[in-house]
Amino acid sequence: MKHVYIIHGYQAVPEDHWFPWLEQHILQTGAIAERVFLADSAHPDADVWQECLSAQCTVLNENTIIVAHSLGCVSSLNFLSKVLQKSSIGAGIFVSGFTEKLNAIPELDQFMESQTLDDKLLRQHILRRYVLLSSNDPFVSPPLTIRLGQRLNAQILEIKQAGHFMQEDGYTAFPQLWDVLRPLLTDS
């Protein structure tokens, strides 16, 4: 059975944006969906977030799919770099992801410096990789997400004028993401 973890980002909680909408769509297919809680997202601590991921993302196999947003992308990739030494997950979908410091949010610099990604391991052990970016993201400029996609050798999908894919950008539903995820839930 497919198992999808939905991982939020900076200043968000699992009830925000398109996360509940996506969970409902996943559950309707018969798959398992879990929205992961990352503690104190207004003041993220990289070690605490790794502990949160370790405690909640316990099913990691070829039926597992990670869907992460913003700061949740680099956090989940850091986590996967450590735990996927001998196993693989089916897919990773990273929305507005980045692995470099953000000019728009310098308070995340220390968090970003603590992240260690094993690009080769991630490419080998995340069997399908997708990166979604917005043409007008005010926080994560498109080149940053494109570079993440290149690091992962991921399929890169651009969505025009989507902001940062947040509720305030009109993203309480995310049909473009569902178009990527739905086929992954039905393949065997």
CATH code, domain with 43? 3.40.50.1820
- What confidence score (pLDDT) does residue 188 get? 58
Which residues participate in catalysis according to the annotation?
Answer: 70, 137, 164
Q: What is the pTM of this model?
A: 0.97
Q: Is there a contact between 81 and 145 (Cβ–Cβ < 8 Å)?
A: no
Q: 124: domain range?
A: 3-186
How many domains is the chain partitioned into structurally?
Answer: 1
Nearest Cα residue to 16 out of 63, 59, 71, 65 = 71
Distance CA 92, CA 107 (A): 26
Would you state the pLDDT for residue 187?
Answer: 74
Distance of CA 126 to the CA centre of its chain: 12
Q: For all residues of the chain together, what is the average pLDDT?
A: 97
Query: In the chain, which residue ranges form alpha helices assigned H by DSSP?
Result: 19-28, 46-56, 71-83, 109-113, 119-125, 142-152, 175-186
Write out residues in the chain with pLDDT < 50, as ranges. Answer: none
